[in-house]
A and B are shown apart, each in its own frame.
Chain A
Amino acid sequence: MPQVQDPLAEFARRAAAGDHASFTHIHRRLSEGLRRLNLRRCGGKADLADDLTQRAFVAAWQAIAGGRYDPSRSAVSTFIYAVAFKIWLQHLRAQGRAAGTGPLREADEPPGVSPDPTGAPALAEEVQAVRECLAGRLGDLTEEERSILRAVAAGESDRAMARRLGLAASTANARKNAAYVKLRRVLASLGFRGEESERQGTGGE
């Protein structure tokens, strides 16, 4: 993977070396955004969003202080996002247990992503690889393919995408699938084959 682009790289490096003041700076920079993300996830429940945000930052600091975060492999924002995502999945699972509704709904738990927080570094590396692809710093995706993938990432429907690109729906779908093939190939070349635990040669557990 090429050099990770991270506007907080210097703070991330210092935090990884044990400098809590740098982590505090990262917290100040990202906490409001993470809280908003959690608010969106939990339907505007402020208390729950605050709690999830706090747990995410505490877990992130523990991982960073414990040497489980490598700033060269993922931006600190991606890492904290991955930790927060795990915390969110843990919450959903605990909620399901409390309500007796069993495991998470398929829509809630993405395939290959477990709530186990120790997998956050590996998930962060995989998400970072996708970010690098979308930014054109990794892989051989064309600008149109990256644009299509960014639209998928933003939740745009196939029909809206086809309209925006001025293509027939079937053509847009074919190009999307071609972009998927390329992205999948890039991820596979980095050792990501579908399950975060299957990543070979990562620093994740």
Chain B
Amino acid sequence: MNDRRLESLLRMAHEAAELEDGAVAPTPLPIPLVSWRRVSLLAGLAAALAMALVVPRLMAPSPAPVTGGDRVAVSRVRTLSDEDLGAVQRALAEMIAAGQESVPARAGEALLLSIVRGEGEACGCVNWRHVCLPPGKELTDLSRDEVIRLGLGGACADHAGRLLIVAVSSDEMPLDASTADQLARCLAGPGEGCGDVASCYASAAMACLPADATVIAETLAMAR
């Protein structure tokens, strides 16, 4: 073992100890701007459910590519309330009970669950659908901008004030309404108190998904 590797290990040990002690120095940050990039969606396959937190409505799949160009200022997101998450769960359960046909996912697809709150609480909705990942890309290859772009390709996007997006890909389970319901249940349970910490939602979702599942989550608040 040469000196350079030894010094690497010493640095890593130091940083791991810092992590455990909560002593990692903070870095001051500006509020970032999201720069939209063009994302190609090859096809939407499933029925999309949109639900105002009061008035549910049905969404159609979105086969067309999403075009980019505008910019969205991102600020600190507020916490989704338990009522929001409970409403998501109820709406999905109703949809399943009503016999919505599930469409199994194919390779290169992901299930996308968007939970949107409108500005001034005027419009809220939940949207789940399949998205086709860009050719050659896996879920984890998508940038934050791309995930948010996909998540906004649904109900109420024009009036979105706050957004939680959870995307899942897996070979071991169908990416359908039942999975979306399962996901919503996870988010309504262990996800309580996650606030604006996207990794907390992703971690909560993982608890209910198979080991092979890939999960990414994004939270943000927007002002156009």
Q: Is the interface of A mostly helix, strand, loop or mixed?
A: helix
Stretch at the interface among B1-9, B42-50, B90-98, B125-133: B1-9
> Which residues of chain A come closer than 8 Å to B216, judged between CB atoms?
51, 54-55, 58
Proximity string of chain A (6-33) to chain B, C-beta cutoff 8 Å, 1 when within and 0 when not? 1110000000000011011001111111
- Asked if B72 is at the interface of the complex by the 8 Å CB criterion, the answer is no
Contact in complex: A33, B22 (CB < 8 Å): yes
Given contacts A47-B144, A58-B215, A127-B9, A188 and B19 within 8 Å (CB-CB): no
- Asked if B198 is at the interface of the complex by the 8 Å CB criterion, the answer is yes
- Asked if B13 is at the interface of the complex by the 8 Å CB criterion, the answer is yes
Contact in complex: B29, A54 (CB < 8 Å): no
Stretch at the interface among B80-88, B151-159, B201-209: B201-209
Cα–Cα distance between A110 and B26 once the two chains are bound (Å): 24
> Which residues of chain B come closer than 8 Å to A30, judged between CB atoms?
19-20
Shortest B26–chain A CB gap in Å is 5
| A54-104 with Cβ < 8 A to chain B | 54-58, 61-62, 65-66, 75, 77-78, 80-82, 85, 94
Shortest A172–chain B CB gap in Å is 15
Q: Is the interface of B mostly helix, strand, loop or mixed?
A: helix
> Which residue of chain A has its CB nearest to the CB of B193?
A28
Contact in complex: A23, B203 (CB < 8 Å): yes
> Which residues of chain A come closer than 8 Å to B24, judged between CB atoms?
33-34, 36-37, 40
Contact in complex: B1, A153 (CB < 8 Å): no
Shortest A5–chain B CB gap in Å is 10
Closest 4 CB pairs of A and B: A110-B8, A153-B14, A54-B199, A20-B207
Given contacts A112-B5, A194-B2, A153 and B11 within 8 Å (CB-CB): yes
> Which residue of chain B has its CB nearest to the CB of A112?
B5
Given contacts A33-B18, A77-B16, A194-B5, A57 and B203 within 8 Å (CB-CB): yes
Contact in complex: B5, A31 (CB < 8 Å): no
Given contacts A54-B217, A58-B203, A152-B7, A184 and B1 within 8 Å (CB-CB): yes
> Which residue of chain A has its CB nearest to the CB of B31?
A46
Proximity string of chain B (9-36) to chain A, C-beta cutoff 8 Å, 1 when within and 0 when not? 1111111111110111111110010000
